[in-house]
Amino acid sequence: PTFSGKLHVTGMTCGACVSTVTKGVHGLDGVFDVRVSLVTEECLVEFDGSKVNIETIKEAVEDCGFDAEVLS
Ligand code: 9UX
């Protein structure tokens, strides 16, 4: 099943930060698509809910060095 999730990510200040988060989340097994916006501070993710969950995705963002909160 495909799930959609949204995170509020704080601490990103440049395009390379966006790239770091995008790659970090995309590297998780079960993640299909990642869109990160520096302006809105949002990370939108589409993933296989049988393989990964939004909390694990949040932790992956934090492992990249940024704070994250689950929005949906
Ligand atoms: Mo830009 Mo972000 O020089 O962690 S990469 S501030």
Structure ipTM: 0.91
Residue 64 clears pLDDT 80, i.e. is over it: yes
Predicted pLDDT at 72: 72
Residue with the smallest CA separation from ligand 1 atom 4 is 17
Q: Is 41:10 a contact under the CB 8 Å cutoff?
A: yes
Tell me how far apart the alpha carbons of residues 18 and 20 are, in angstroms, rounded to a whole number: 5
Query: 10: CA distance to ligand 1 center in Å?
Result: 12
| Relative orientation angle of helices 54-63 and 15-26, to the nearest 10 degrees | 130
Residues with CB under 6 A from ligand 1: 13-14, 16-17, 20
- Closest Cα to residue 6, out of 69, 63, 50? 69
Mean per-residue pLDDT for 53-72? Answer: 97
Q: Domain segments of the chain: what residues?
A: 2-70
2-70 has which fold? Alpha-Beta Plaits (3.30.70)
Q: What is the pTM of this model?
A: 0.95
